């Protein structure tokens, strides 16, 4: 398995200091004035979007335009040509030029005047780039924007000396550190992760350009190292997930099928604890390790010798079987990733692609689930339905198999992901939780696998998911329970992300327009939608549909599925 994830808990010794501001440093920055009036032009920019004000400001100053008059496309990527054009516009206005860069009567590509301007103005070196039509990386954008203003306007307000994924070997590392220390960027999480090779979105570009041109929007950052976080680390060819270094050690040994594990030097409990307390502590750690690392493939029992400090583990499969299954699953994961993950995909697009593959290629094993509910155990023939092998190789699984498969594919795709256990409608259940901008959101692939209300459980904030998913404490060590910060925003939720969120007051118009075109529609609205309100809306729609029709519907905490029978 290729190395794509690193330890999430990172020691970042980055003190925050406030330096004296140069006198009149922003004399020329006052040239950025309002030239357009934003009147709600872009229908894909919502009031709750974190980037809303940045998009509006960059539009009103004439720096960024929409894809068309009503669409901004905030999650779309930006080409290198577009990034250079934006930086050139910033520099041109900064210099006090009242006329835009001349792009008339050009014989080459549309962006040539902006590239020429950028080279002449010192924004970039001639020959630095060869393909201007490629999608711009975050590092490339840092390089271009670092010189958009004079150096006196990028003075330090931070003292950041370490960034998790940027070092002296990183392309354009000097420019990246300049933007961090001047408050233009602060990374995607509290550790300051920059993701230099990932592609920048138009929303992110609008935020950068506004911090470049407006000192009040710059970020005073202190990057910290928090305890009680998730460790996701590549060890000996396996991605290992845990909640502490000691737990990581246990996981790394179990995933290699080690029958005897030397616990000397690893503190999982207080040495003064009683034997019962020690056993309970070990159960806590081992259960969490087993759940978070699907390729362990199950633990039957363990024995701990407190004199020798040796942990003896009995696995569900012997080592030969374990390795055979691991190799098959790892090969399948890489095959699937190569098929569905395309260059230029955003973090959330990769996540959705994984979900869609699994829901299209796995059948839910009702027989295995029914036997477990009725008898409390299952026959050996159903074992694989409870792991990633059954999901990915056999194409049949219960929720545990779905969640393990999603976890392994997320590991391969560079998506921070854990497995969560608990109950759904008083029945044992497993789902996932993914990390987006330092907060955790729920994904339930099992319940996304349905024709009606498909994908209604992608990136669900806790305010919604806690209404129907009841987590237990098995999946995480007791000391870390409740420590992972969960997201409350709906902006990354599937239907919001896909532009299928409908305000309650606009439901009638949306349904009336779309139910004429399609036999069925699905959308999300406010989670406080009542059945009575939906019925009234559908009655109005039916009253205004010509010909004989009937509407059937399902709704669940804001997701609405409507089917028309003609």
**Which tens digit of pLDDT belongs to each residue from 208-252?**
988 888 888 888 765 544 444 788 888 888 899 998 888 888 999
SS (H, E, C) 220-246: CCCCCCCCCCCEEEEECCEEEEECCHH
Whether 187 and 437 have beta carbons less than 8 Å apart is answered as: no
What's the mean pLDDT in 549-553? 88
Whether 365 and 396 have beta carbons less than 8 Å apart is answered as: yes
- State percent of the chain over pLDDT 70: 91
What is the per-residue pLDDT for 151?
65
DSSP state of 390: I
pLDDT of 32 higher than 50:
yes
**Which tens digit of pLDDT belongs to each residue from 292-334?**
999 999 999 999 888 888 999 999 899 999 999 999 999 999 9
**Which tens digit of pLDDT belongs to each residue from 463-477?**
999 999 999 989 998
**Which tens digit of pLDDT belongs to each residue from 356-376?**
999 999 999 999 999 999 999
pLDDT of 13 higher than 50:
no
What's the mean pLDDT in 327-354? 91
pLDDT band at 3 (very low <50, low <70, confident <90, very high): very low
**Which tens digit of pLDDT belongs to each residue from 266-288?**
777 776 778 788 888 888 989 99
Q: Tell me how far apart the alpha carbons of residues 546 and 375 are, in angstroms, rounded to a whole number.
A: 53
Q: What is the pTM of this model?
A: 0.64
Q: Which residue has the higher pLDDT, 558 or 213?
A: 558
Q: Which residues contact 36 (CB under 8 A, 6 or more apart)?
A: 59, 60, 61, 62
Among the residue ranges 89-98, 202-211, 375-384, the one predicted with the least confidence is 89-98
């Amino acid at each position: 398995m290729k190395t794509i994830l690193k330890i999430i808990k990172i020691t970042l010794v980055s003190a925050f200091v406030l330096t004296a501001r140069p006198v009149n440093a922003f004399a020329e920055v006052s040239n950025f004035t309002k030239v357009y009036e934003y009147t709600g032009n872009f229908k894909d920019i919502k009031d709750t979007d974190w980037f809303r004000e940045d998009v509006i400001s960059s539009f009103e100053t004439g720096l960024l335009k929409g894809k068309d008059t009503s669409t901004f496309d905030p999650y779309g990527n930006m080409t290198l040509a577009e990034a250079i054009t934006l930086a050139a516009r910033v520099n041109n206005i900064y210099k006090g030029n009242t006329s835009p860069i001349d792009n008339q009567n050009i014989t080459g590509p549309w962006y040539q005047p902006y590239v020429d301007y950028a080279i002449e103005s010192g924004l970039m070196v001639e020959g630095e780039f060869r393909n201007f039509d490629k999608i711009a990386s975050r590092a490339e954008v840092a390089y271009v924007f670092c010189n958009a203003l004079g150096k006196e306007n990028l003075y330090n307000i931070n003292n950041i000396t370490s960034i998790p994924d940027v070092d002296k070997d990183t392309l354009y590392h000097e420019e990246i550190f300049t933007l961090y220390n001047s408050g233009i960027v602060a990374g995607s999480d509290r550790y300051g992760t920059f993701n230099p090779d990932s592609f920048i979105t138009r929303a992110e570009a609008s935020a950068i350009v506004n911090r470049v041109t407006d000192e009040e929007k710059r970020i005073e950052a202190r990057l910290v190292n928090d305890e009680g976080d998730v460790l996701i680390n590549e060890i000996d060819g396996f991605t290992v997930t845990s909640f502490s270094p000691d737990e990581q050690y246990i996981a790394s040994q179990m995933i290699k099928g080690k029958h005897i594990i030397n616990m000397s030097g690893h503190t999982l409990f207080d040495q003064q604890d009683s034997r019962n307390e020690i056993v309970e502590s070990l159960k806590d750690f081992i259960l969490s390790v087993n759940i978070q690392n699907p390729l362990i493939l199950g633990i039957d029992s363990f024995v701990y010798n407190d004199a020798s400090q040796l942990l003896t583990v009995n696995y569900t499969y012997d080592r030969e079987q374990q390795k055979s299954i691991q190799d098959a699953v790892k090969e399948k994961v890489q095959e699937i990733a190569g098929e569905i993950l395309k260059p230029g995909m955003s973090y959330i697009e990769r996540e959705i692609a994984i979900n869609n593959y699994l829901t299209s290629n796995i059948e839910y094993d009702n027989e295995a689930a029914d036997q477990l509910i009725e008898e409390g155990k299952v026959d050996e023939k159903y074992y694989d339905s409870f792991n990633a092998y059954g999901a990915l190789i056999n194409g049949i699984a219960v929720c545990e198999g779905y969640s393990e498969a999603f976890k392994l594919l997320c590991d391969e795709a560079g998506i921070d992901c854990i497995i969560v256990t608990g109950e759904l409608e008083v029945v044992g259940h497993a789902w996932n939780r993914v990390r987006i901008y330092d907060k955790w959101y729920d994904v339930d692939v099992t319940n996304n696998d349905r024709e009606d209300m498909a994908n209604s459980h992608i990136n669900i904030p806790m305010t919604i998911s806690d209404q129907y998913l009841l987590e237990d404490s098995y999946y995480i060590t007791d000391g870390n329970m409740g420590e992972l910060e969960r997201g409350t925003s709906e902006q990354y939720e599937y239907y919001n992300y896909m532009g299928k969120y409908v305000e309650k007051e606009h439901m009638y118009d949306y349904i009336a327009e779309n139910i004429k075109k399609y036999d069925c529609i699905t959308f999300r609205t406010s989670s406080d939608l009542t059945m009575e309100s939906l019925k009234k809306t559908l009655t109005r729609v039916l009253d205004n549909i010509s010909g004989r029709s009937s509407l059937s519907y399902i709704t669940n905490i804001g997701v609405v599925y409507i089917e028309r029978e003609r």
